[in-house]
Structure 1
């Protein structure tokens, strides 16, 4: 009887903790969180484009449960210097937020997105600036695809704080760079869409934002052939417990690496992993105060060469993978020409370090979100003709340079075919 009595007492205690936590936490019907909209308000965006983006953000806000005890919104302009249209907590209803968005004027100037991201971290998402502790943070960045200053480091600082990053690109941009800037997986957090078609993704983005507002969400970013970063919202505090991180290859679950972290931690970087490998990740919160369930995630490292002594053995866990060598720079410019109803010519400035280039992959598909096709182009060429296209259709074209080191560098652009007869299209041809 004693073992069963001890088990019953333990179970009752855990259920009581779960019930008390549920009473203190937000209801599922009214998610809590801080939502920051970052809009490209610079001179690189036309007045028409800015008005369509503003209309889209207002539409998205109308679909979200904003108000006291629920979601709060803030709007920041990207220009020569960041400008806050309204901070968190200024407007207490969705209608008030929509009115403020409609009244927002374009700021013009340079596209200093990195400066705006650093500003958001220090002035908006910081608790000393009024951000609510313990609630999810979400950033929706709407951009035409470019920035005058580096975006990667300040964006990573936000993600290390547990901020979930969604990116909506209405123009051309480096697909790999934007994928790295968005939260993982990029196919869920990165959207390429024409400015006139933004309304198409409103419902999908709403569902994704609400999903990101749910607590206990473990995410991976900066996935390379040898490592990745993990981030999660604040689930504990330094005084209420600690975390145990576990990592193991899916094919060999007995080979486990563990790392203990304090309760105020919200991120960790695993390094010196094997390329092209599935890894199982577990985040186990240990606390006698709060009942928080473990979280699990599967991450696949990118392909690459398996060097001698790779993997976890004999390596430190706090090293960051070295940056790619500067000579491996991908295509710098994409030119679309000879556009026909069913074909168009794509050419690009060759990648630097031609001796190290194995070739190019050209991937193209109709916007938004159509099935993509791929064409292989030899290293000595810097152009190809895409055939079998649909008339009067916008396509997202991505040119990727593949290097002998296993790294890849890519650039994306939007291309449109002119109107024409819509009969049966010929099959796409490889150049």
Structure 2
């Protein structure tokens, strides 16, 4: 089921209790070049304490980045009723100066108009007026408490369609499935779900991932689903120096080859209409009228049908780890809130706001953080609470409540809960 995959992925990705080494000098290679934009929720849904912790986190990130006109540039947009640009890309040339600017940011308060902020981010990332540079990698880091007052999926998808790599850091609230769909794929590499007091734990790893996303890369596939993938490559040509020949052929039937001719200024192409669980050979041939460029070849395997589950363990069991998060829009709504109460060393009570009559049942998935196996408990549609027991003392759990509708669709909401000592 969808929610099983979500928590399984989250548990895998949150195995951060282990020591994470600081990146060495090689991580700060001058080969990393790109425009990095931070999108920070500074609305009234975030407390002053939370906002200050987020600023400290972002400040630590930028402090050790290789900032400069030939390396990384950074900008910051604050989310509120009317999103604002805190500083443009070309203002700060040192990590210390950028860190100080982040710390000096004032909270906007008001509504969480993330959609408007993403539109503003798009303008920042693509215009030279804001200091953005053509031909370099674009990265967006969105730090959020999980909520938005307006539509955010469409403008976020527009950014990803333009080749922007999207990292999301959620401080623990909101719908995990929606966030995993908003982040670049796969979610386990681009979505961090961390308590606001533990943000510093992920600084080294996230910094390394950002720099890796900015390094020139050869042809590779992104956003792989059961019927499509996006092909991305570095700028090898220009609009007037040649063109690309892109070929995709299934390994089981090379005769079914498909080809596209693309302009020399293209650096990505979305290919759909593919078969599930199929390996494709992809060949990119740069045809230049100036000099020879060698073809690039990769193999890409589409996921299982409809992007559905990879359940590791017994299919009929109530626990296991899952490896893939599907993202399928639904018209049904999720439980509007989750309440944790009566916490004891080995149990706590979970209740949620009722959802419409078309709910068939509820599925409560819970597992310890970081890492660990998830357990599933089914609850009848006539009830909206349950007690989870046989838990470990003094342990943080991620609890996801999914409303399963008669249509077969699911909508879910996640929350953290801690058992007592």
Which residue of 2 is the match for residue 364 of structure 1? 366
C-alpha deviation, 1:278, in angstroms: 4.2
C-alpha deviation, 1:234, in angstroms: 4.4
Which residue of 2 is the match for residue 10 of structure 1? none
Bigger Cα displacement from structure 2, 265-274 vs 68-77: 265-274
Which residue of 2 is the match for residue 158 of structure 1? 159
Write out per-residue CA displacement over residues 242-282 of structure 1, whole angstroms, 9 at most, x where no aligned residue: 3344445566566444333323334444444445x244363
Pick closer, same or farther for the CA change 1:351–1:266 going to 2, 3 Å.
Answer: farther
Give the Cα separation in 2 of the matches to 1:257 and 1:353: 47
Pick closer, same or farther for the CA change 1:323–1:57 going to 2, 3 Å.
Answer: closer
Gaps of 5+ in 1: 1-26, 307-321, 421-431
Write out per-residue CA displacement over residues 50-87 of structure 1, whole angstroms, 9 at most, x where no aligned residue: 11111111111123212232111111111111211111
Q: How many residue pairs align between the two structures?
A: 372
1:417 matched to 2:419? The reply is: yes
Give the TM-score of the pair, scaled to structure 1: 0.76
The DSSP-based 3-state class of the residue aligned with 1:287 is strand
Give the structure, 1 or 2, with the largest relative contact order (CA under 8 Å, sep 6 or more).
Answer: 2
Tell me if structure 2 keeps the 8 A contact 1:364–1:373: yes
The DSSP-based 3-state class of the residue aligned with 2:126 is coil
Tell me if structure 2 keeps the 8 A contact 1:162–1:232: no
C-alpha deviation, 1:33, in angstroms: 0.9
Q: How does 1:192-231 map to 2 (within 5 A)?
A: 192-216=193-217, 218-221=220-223, 226-230=227-231
Give the Cα separation in 2 of the matches to 1:233 and 1:74: 23
Which residue of 2 is the match for residue 187 of structure 1? 188
Tell me if structure 2 keeps the 8 A contact 1:241–1:285: no
1:76 matched to 2:77? The reply is: yes
Give the TM-score of the pair, scaled to structure 2: 0.78
CA RMSD of aligned residues (A): 3.1
Pick closer, same or farther for the CA change 1:283–1:102 going to 2, 3 Å.
Answer: farther
Pick closer, same or farther for the CA change 1:385–1:227 going to 2, 3 Å.
Answer: farther
Write out per-residue CA displacement over residues 389-412 of structure 1, whole angstroms, 9 at most, x where no aligned residue: 333332222234456766543322
Which residue of 2 is the match for residue 286 of structure 1? 286
Which residue of 2 is the match for residue 336 of structure 1? 340
Which residue of 1 is the match for residue 54 of structure 2? 53
1:298 matched to 2:272? The reply is: no
C-alpha deviation, 1:132, in angstroms: 0.9
Tell me if structure 1 keeps the 8 A contact 2:166–2:184: yes
1:99 matched to 2:103? The reply is: no
